[in-house]
A and B are shown apart, each in its own frame.
Chain A
Amino acid sequence: MDLRILNEFRSIVGNGGLICSPEELHTYECDGLTNFRVLPRAVLLPSSTAQVQSIVRLCHRERIPFVARGSGTGLSGGALPVANGIVLSLARMNRIREVDIPNARVVVEPGVINLDVTGRVQSQDYFYAPDPSSQSVCSIGGNVAENAGGAHCLKYGFTTTHVLGLEVVLPDGSLVHLGGKTLDTPGYDLVGVFVGSEGTLGVATKIILRIVKRPECVRALLAAFPTTNEAGAAVSGIIAAGMLPAAIEMMDKLAIQAAEAAVHANYPDCGGLLLVELDGPLGEVEALMTQVDEICRSNGAWEIRVAQSEAERALVWKGRKAAFAAVGRISPNYIVQDGVIPRTALPQVMGEIARLSRENGLRVANVFHAGDGNLHPLVLYDRRIHGQEDAALALSFKILEVCIAAGGSITGEHGVGEEKKCMMSKMFAEPDLATMQRVRCAFDPLQLSNPTKVFPTPRLCGEKPGEYLPHPVESAGLAERS
């Protein structure tokens, strides 16, 4: 990137908004997935939509790829820079623009931290429902890109359920407004397409969120089972009884040991731990909690604790929320994977994971959002042992193949990013991916917005897979493709 362009960038964001010295750029060379690293040519820190537009227009004119970045907590390498490209950090666009309690809407800039949305509305007894484990640091813009989930999306839905409108700078620098504060605005649901598109369709500069009234009461129950199979059977029992808990989380023996070592959550030492949270009107929750208790006992739970106070509930969650980091206590290195299976396939998939673990001589700890079948297998390894990192990576992908074979998905909330794009062709057929690619080309014909992510082999827009076959109308000379 020549000096002329750097100077042009500088004229947009000022000296303080441009980072281009190699030592400072290292901060941005990766996101939460640290085994991929690329140094960007520059990092820009715009503070307004107009600045984002100017930057993107310049990128468009000069054909410079750009990667938008929130807090950099992503776990699939979605914010990994592109060589010869720039990083657009939205950290300075962190204002809450509007709080509208009667309509339960909050309008934010992309750099606003997830938990700060709840912080702004909790005095009125509202909250922002999506709660990824990183919610105290991750940004709403990043949540939108990844369609972030969390433990409570079983009942409340994902980021996409809570985004009503977007202001987006398209990859040619033009500004569009998708959706709005009201529902069902005329046109295609492009908000639905944009959320979860991992930064490949443009840059969101304003986000209209829906907030939720806090339920009257919340109760959490902890149940200890001999193995995850019995715990899984209890989950099926709860669902079959027609209940929709706010969250159902499960941990296996290794994950429990790690959590105990790290935060002393005082979890029972067992083979499968279930955490069930119910919320709603008091009478309703109490009636259902009794039933959950019975279902757990009849499926072999030997210890059940119900958190009676908010403090007890926080303690119950403490071990679960710390689980990923806690694994660092029992292993020097580990890979966090993110697969999804139909809930009923749980015992079979757990068996497969155990078999793969044995065959590969690597330990796997399991933490799941059991209610929606979202598994987070943690593959433990030691980087210092030659070949073990590759073996661990290979094992984590084999687990994803097991998920696909069970009718599931390669990612429930972390995104495809850089890490799993090679798995996309195992989950989707060529026509499926080609169709998604067509949508991408409608937004970004030059493929400048996070160009190397999500899809296995980036194709140019207009290029068709396989042999090119002219449309009969073209052959007849009646029309030509634009």
Chain B
Amino acid sequence: MTPISATLQNNLRAVLSADQIRPASPADSICGVQPQFLIEPATEQQLATALRLADESQLAVIPRGGASKLGWGNAPSRADLLLSTARLSRIVEHAWGDLTVTVEAGCTIETLQQTLAEHGQRLAIDPLWPEKATVGGVLSSNDSGALRLRFGALRDLIIGVTIALADGTLASSGGKVVKNVAGYDLPKLVTGALGTLGVITRAVFRLHPLPRHSRSFTISVSNPREAQQIILAIQDSKLAHVALQSQFSAEALPVIDILFEGTEAGLDAQASQLRGFCKSAKSSLAQVHPEPRTVTNAKASSSPSPWNAREDLWSFSNPAENAIAKISVLPADLARTVELIRTVAEPSRVNWKLLLYATGLGWLRGEGPAGNLHRALTTLRAELEKMGGSLAVLHRPANMQAFDAWGSPGDSLPLLKAVKTRLDPWSTLNPGRFVGGI
């Protein structure tokens, strides 16, 4: 930790007003690392200047949005200044006729969706905790959910970005139009970079219309093979579903959830096709009413919905005995992956629950003593990497022995480091938190 000098404090206070800087409290710690101050710039210029001052003093800066996913990634190797985007939260322009929005990084997803819904539009993502999660945080952590199957990931929806580099440079790339190939696609570079390359200050997104109607169904199946068979058959069919997921656990039988959006007439036709599928596969189909929280409106009922399954994984009582990992496998490796998890978890006496999207992305919760979780995750990552997949840990017990959150970037690590060094040569931003020690 580099102590923040009186001079630097004065310099920061010259940029920020008195209520925009305060000593950090123990509640502000990041994975157990205690920063010294918290700043809340209200403009991009303030943010960039404060960042430059910190960089010049070789302080470590931790950007923070809604703090809902602040524990993701590795613990920072240093943390001096928390940089909150809470006051940088304006919706700059909702160009609804052009289906685009320009929004500052600190705006919550829920607030954004409510504004977009006034013109019947949405940002077609369903991230975790939209009431807290911010645009900047969701982008930095690349957090997308079930809707990714149809609408793509954040990388496919972001069309422009402004970032503050550690040296105070404010740089924009992309633009306000959906189709644009001028210059490098830096919006994609900073999406999923966990704030290690620059602080996102604003983003421009392409939008989609809110669905006229939506309908979702749950299919009960007897084993992972059957689940895989049905999911691949649906993916290979002419059905135009927007989300498709399967849920597995140590105890319960697997279920498949599927979501359609469209006109009433179109939905009826799709529902009957789906029934045909299930009949030939001898699986039972049930229509369920709740829809993904951010699909129709952010304040949807809190009744149990399969589309809240990802968030539900975090509803555990004992954080010291739970770990949550994001896994990525090939869609056709579904059954193999579930079997693998079972064989790894059972001998370690780890109880587990898996939510797997048809894209091959999944969220896995393991419950058991920290040592057992560590063993299981280590084996599982090695096996998944052999299959060409990956495993990133999002939550782990505080008392679990060291475990890299990310896994191997393969032969690209020197290039990843070169990009980091060019943009943040002193490792000011989120040091040690990203892949390969970046």
Contact = CB atoms under 8 A, between A and B. Distances in A.
A65 interface: no
Given A213-B235, A409-B180, A428-B173, A161 B412 contact: no
Contacts of B290: none
Contacts of A373: 98, 177-179
B389 interface: yes
A244 interface: yes
Contacts of B120: 242
12 contacts: A101-B236, A102-B232, A158-B181, A184-B326, A187-B435, A188-B192, A213-B238, A244-B208, A280-B240, A340-B180, A342-B176, A439-B186
Interface stretch (A16-24, A281-289, A381-389): A281-289
B155 interface: yes
Contact of B183 (A236, A340, A416): A416
Contacts of A33: none
> Which residue, A104, A192, A288, has most C-beta atoms of chain B within 10 A?
A192
A283 B269 contact: yes
Given A407-B177, A439-B419, A161 B184 contact: no
A1 interface: no
Given A182-B328, A196-B185, A283-B268, A372 B177 contact: yes
A472 B56 contact: yes
Given A192-B185, A409-B182, A284 B265 contact: yes
Contact of A473 (B56, B95, B406, B414): B56
A244 B212 CA distance: 13
Interface in A418-466: 420, 424, 427-429, 431-436, 438-443, 454
Contacts of A98: none
Interface of B: 56-58, 95, 97-100, 120, 142, 152-153, 155-156, 163, 165, 167, 169-173, 175-186, 188-189, 191-193, 197, 208-210, 212, 232, 235-240, 262-263, 265-266, 268-270, 326, 328-332, 359-361, 388-390, 392, 406-416, 418-419, 421-423, 425-426, 435-436
Nearest to B237: A213
Contact of A416 (B171, B182, B232, B414): B182
A422 to B, nearest CB: 12
Contact of B173 (A216, A342, A436, A441): A436
> Which residue, B100, B171, B406, has most C-beta atoms of chain A within 10 A?
B171
A146 interface: yes
A183 interface: yes
A342 B412 contact: no
Given A183-B328, A424-B183, A281 B270 contact: yes
Nearest to A475: B56
A7 interface: no
A186 B393 CA distance: 11
A183 B115 CA distance: 31
Nearest to A472: B56
Contacts of A213: 235-238
B409 to A, nearest CB: 4
Interface string A250-293: 00000000000000000000000000000011111001100000
A-B pairs with the 10 shortest C-beta distances?
Answer: A192-B188, A284-B266, A242-B209, A435-B171, A216-B238, A102-B332, A283-B269, A187-B409, A442-B418, A344-B97
Nearest to A344: B97
A124 to B, nearest CB: 8
Interface stretch (A56-64, A111-119, A173-181, A302-310): A173-181
A427 B180 CA distance: 12
A193 interface: yes
Contacts of B415: 170, 176, 190, 442-443
Contacts of B328: 182-185
Contact of A342 (B95, B153, B193): B95
A72 interface: no
Given A281-B266, A438-B422, A424 B189 contact: no
A439 B326 CA distance: 28
A473 to B, nearest CB: 6
A99 to B, nearest CB: 13
Contacts of A177: 410-412
A153 B408 CA distance: 33
Nearest to B262: A284
A339 B409 CA distance: 37
A416 B184 CA distance: 11
A160 interface: yes
Interface of A: 100-104, 146-147, 149, 153, 157-158, 160-161, 170, 174-178, 180-190, 192-193, 195-197, 213-216, 236, 239-240, 242-244, 280-284, 287-288, 340-344, 369, 372-374, 407-416, 420, 424, 427-429, 431-436, 438-443, 454, 471-473, 478-479, 481-482
Given A147-B181, A153-B179, A420-B182, 12 more contacts: A100-B332, A177-B411, A183-B153, A184-B326, A185-B328, A193-B189, A213-B238, A283-B268, A283-B270, A411-B182, A431-B169, A439-B419
Given A184-B390, A189-B189, A435 B182 contact: no
Contact of B388 (A180, A287, A411, A472): A180
Nearest to B206: A372
A187 B405 CA distance: 12
A284 B240 contact: yes
B361 A189 contact: no
B188 A193 contact: yes
Nearest to A471: B56
Contacts of A412: 177, 179-181
Contacts of B329: 182
B69 to A, nearest CB: 15
B374 to A, nearest CB: 19
Contacts of A287: 263, 265-266
A291 B239 CA distance: 22
A280 B261 CA distance: 12
Nearest to A76: B181
Contact of B179 (A182, A197, A413, A473): A413
A181 B330 contact: yes
Given A374-B179, A427-B182, A432 B172 contact: yes
A184 B412 CA distance: 14
Contact of A187 (B155, B173, B416): B416
Contacts of A188: 189, 192-193, 197, 416, 419, 435
Contact of A439 (B184, B236, B408, B436): B184
Contacts of A479: 426
B426 to A, nearest CB: 7
Contact of A435 (B169, B208, B426): B169
A158 B179 contact: yes
Given A104-B235, A416-B183, A435-B423, A182 B176 contact: no
B122 to A, nearest CB: 11
